[in-house]
Structure 1
């Protein structure tokens, strides 16, 4: 098995999105996340669907992790638009993780998530992104919404030991195609560094 060398902080930073990659008016940037926090305990039903919503939770500790936060401010702070990018680099190949996500997706059409005693249900659908390799792009929304409108988007892409994770609300990218284009831009930046 070939040796997997994690990205350095400098390489991961270079692979991250720039504010100029976003439409005019966005601000923010990236920084190393020296102590990545997992957050509150969460349970999922079906349990195997945890990897779809939260693949970094059980994936071990990355050698390098860069977190980007990008913000488009609104007149009302509750209407601010946010995009999060995580580039986590491990000493092991991350393609099996992306394959695990794709494999369980057919059984994860609706996922129940329990956090602090409150349960919510969300649907998940994979979006086709022509030309995307070793990645999945997902759309999530309220499972009780008969129109199945999206409320968020997530993408996971593996390149060797590096996993790119993107998250954004559907108020930020109002169509599936807009998020797919954004994900393609982020993947191109990563590919320029890792090849």
Structure 2
């Protein structure tokens, strides 16, 4: 009897020691976020824009629209406001640029946000890209008013690790109104651009705006 118990004990001990060790969780890679000075340097200057523009850059601790908008499908929010409801960035600056008209009501504007985290942001860009096929047309509500929009990718020659988007009313075949957005990732930094189609009346004009902003970003951060 003692022999049998000893044998059982050995078998149990062997079974326990044969269990493979659980692999340690892969640590999240880290990157150095931009400082405020670096982010400011990476932002557009009025001198980068055509004649007639003015504006400036300032630190912005809350780089999101924070508007009470709902989307259907819900994932389409990523196309319009991907920085919303995320962990606050280590650094964020906002550039507000205005194209002056004959009167204040004729002014047109464009917004740039450069936000930087200590973790790589390519997963955010992939999420935006993955959401696009589901959001060719989508609906939503803002302050009780409903809307329906289309979204399509806007080609920008030479754009790396980024996406540009055109939004508009599906019932407006001549695209007389709408908005543009673009998101570009460099390491832990996201460049976000937004403007109305009144500000950039052609796709090519917004694409050039994106190219100019990305060139400034790459010159500053490499």
- Output the TM-score relative to the length of structure 2: 0.83
- For the residues of structure 1 that align with 2:63 and 2:129, how far apart are their CA atoms? 25
Q: Counterpart of 2:91?
A: 64
The residue number in structure 2 matching 1:189 is: 216
Which structure is higher in helix share? 2
Q: 2:150 & 2:86 partners in 1: Cα distance?
A: 23
Structure 1 segments unaligned to the other structure (5+ residues)? none
- Per the alignment, residue 74 of structure 2 pairs with 47
User: 2:205 — aligned with what?
Assistant: 178
Separation of aligned partners in 2, 1:83 and 1:133: 22
Q: Decide which of 163, 178, 182 is 1:155's aligned counterpart.
A: 182
Question: Deviations for 1:69-122, whole angstroms, at most 9, x for unmatched residues?
Answer: 011121232221101000011111111111111111011011212111111111
TM-align CA RMSD: 1.5
Match of 1:14 in 2: 41
Partner of 1:169: 196
User: In the TM superposition, what whole-angstrom CA distance separates every residue of 1:113-143 from its partner, at most 9, and x where no partner exists?
Assistant: 2111111111111011121111000011112
Secondary structure (helix, strand or coil) at the match of 2:110 reads strand
**1:136 maps onto 2:163 in alignment:** yes
- Rounded to whole Å, the distance in 1 between the matches of 2:174 and 2:51 is 31
Aligned to 1:127: 154
Contact 2:163 2:184 in 1 (8 A): yes
Contact 1:26–1:72 (CA under 8 A) maintained in structure 2: yes
**CA shift digits 1:41-75 (9 cap, x unpaired):** 22100111111111000322111110000111212
Largest Rg, 1 or 2: 2
* Matched residue SS, 1:92: coil
Rounded Cα–Cα distance in structure 2 between residues aligned with 1:190 and 1:72:
21
Aligned pairs, number: 195
Q: Please name the residue that 1:34 is paired with.
A: 61
Q: What does residue 98 of structure 1 align with?
A: 125
Aligned to 1:5: 32
Q: Counterparts of 1:36 and 1:137 in 2: how far apart (Å)?
A: 19
Spell out structure 1 runs of 4+ moving beyond 6 A: none
Q: Contact 1:139 / 1:150 at 8 angstroms: preserved in 2?
A: no
Matched residue, 1:146: 173
